[in-house]
Structures are given as structure tokens and as C-alpha cells.
Amino acid sequence: MRVRAYESTWIGPARCGKRDPVVTSDALLHARAALVTGGGRGIGRAIALALARAGATVAVTARSARELDAVVTEVTYTGGRAHAIVADLTDDAAVATLVTRARAVLGGIDLLVHNAGGAPPHGDFARAPIATWDRTLRLNLRAPMLLTHHLLPDLRRGTEPAIVFVASIAGMTGSAGAAAYSAAKFGVRGFAQSLFEEVRELGIRVSVICPGFVDTTLIPSNRKVDRARMLRSDDVAAAVLFALRTTSTAACAEIVLRPQRSPYVR
């Protein structure tokens, strides 16, 4: 189990001078505290940067200290506030310690963004080792459920509290070779919909973002796919901000993002 928290400060050449902050004020996000899972790279990094630019204090968690440190450095360099907590979300003890550390560095949690996830290589379900789809379900479905369970008391005390799940188009339409991943993402959507019905009267908003192909390192190079046509991580981050900026009288329950042009090469 590895759980570690720290705050980075950017240090540059003495003669560079102080860079002007680029943080923008957002009435709905300013001074709110957010926890973003899978925040070291790709979509999670983009979400963390977008929240920080909008004025939120952000804690990012992932397994790589190096990647998290880079995100925190980028946020602090541009005038924002961020903290990094290294944790393995498939380890129950690590999740519990993550919750303790997040409470300590943030002082409270208003926004919870479940972005961490991953999929094994495509393959025939009948031939897939049971341990492989166990890991897939544990990371993509059980981990966000467990973390939500831990943090619901904090969110009930939060300011304009919200939970956002980054699911996938795979959670809306099954595909051959991705049975466990698709099942997990379908499960995320079902959990989010049920959770919303339980907490909506408490003022906690619950949203799901379902992106199609996003150009990240999780998608291996493939000559049959044109990466230039894929969604960008910033597209998903913009959808998260849209969901969070919805007024208190409305709930943005689900957003589906598809590439405008098909990335499949004909």
C-alpha cells in the first residue's frame, strides 16, 4: 500500500520574475475543494487543471508520484492550489488512507470526480483469465463505489456538492473483446443513476460523462484509427465543468461525447 500527500511549489531561475496568475474566478467553483482520481495524466490531468483554473483547490490521486508532481507543479505555477496523494484505488486500505489525507489537505470535499479507470487488451471473454476481469471490475466499478461510500458524509456537508463519474461509450453499447470493461462502465452508469435518486433531495448532484474515443495513452497505436479525429482530454474536462456549473435547480445527469468525425479509417 502506498499513500503519500504533498504540495509542490514551482522553482525557477531567480531572474525570471513572478508569473502573473491565470486562475479565473468562477462563481460556482471558486474556493471549492475537489478530489480527482486518475489525475496524473490524460483526462484526469485535464480535469484537474480545468478545475484549478476555475478557482477550485484540487487534490489529485493516482499511482504515479512523478505524474502527480508534474500536475501539481503546473497548477501552482499558474497560481492555483493543488495537492497530490499517491494511492492504489484497488487497495481498500489505501482508499481509506486516501480519504483521511484528502480531508486533511482540503479541509472538506465539495466535488468528487471519479476518473480513474483502465481496460485490459481486447480479447475473447471465454479465454480471459478470471483475475483479469476481476481487476477490471475492481478498478472501474468497485473503487468509485467504495470511495463514494467513504466521502458521502463529507459531501453532505459540502458547498454545492457534486459527484462526477467519467464512464465511457462502452457503458452504453457493448462490444466484442471488451466484455469486462463494458460491464464495469454499464455498472458505473447504473450506480450513478441509483445514487442520484438517493441523494438528490440532499442537494448533491450526480453526473456521468460518457466519452467515445479519447486520444490518450490508454489507446494503443492502431493503423485502423485516426487519432486526429479522436476527442481530446480537454473536451472531457469541458464536459465536467459544464455539469458542475449547472444551477442548483437542474441536474445534468448524463453527457455523451462522440468524436464529430469517425476515427475509424475506411
Report pLDDT digits (tens) over 222-258: 768 888 899 999 999 999 999 999 888 899 999 999 9
Check: CB of residue 87 under 8 Å from CB of residue 2: yes
CA dihedral 48, 49, 50, 53 (to 10 degrees): 120
Q: What is the mean pLDDT of the chain?
A: 89
Q: Decide yes or no: CATH 3.40.50.720 for domain 22-257.
A: yes
In the structure, how many helices (H) and strands (E) does the chain have? 7, 8
Q: What is the pLDDT of residues 198-232, one digit of tens each?
A: 999 999 999 999 999 998 877 777 768 888 899 99
Pairing of strands 4-6, 82-86: antiparallel
What pLDDT does residue 21 have? 42
User: Across-strand partners of 111?
Assistant: 34, 162
Pairwise CA distance, residues 179 & 176, whole Å: 7
264: annotated active-site residue:
no
Domains of the chain by residue range: 22-257
Handedness of CA 84, 4, 28, 246 (dihedral sign): positive
**From 6, 77, 181, 264, the catalytic residue:** 181
Q: How far is CA 45 from CA 40, 75, 155, in A?
A: 5, 10, 22
What pLDDT does residue 237 have? 97
Backbone angles phi, psi at 19, to 5 degrees: -80, 140
Rg (C-alpha) for the chain, rounded Å, is 18
Give the other-Cβ count within 10 Å of 250's Cβ.
8
Strand segments, DSSP code E, in 176-264 are: 205-211, 254-257
Pairwise CA distance, residues 40 & 221, whole Å: 21
| pTM above threshold 0.85 | yes
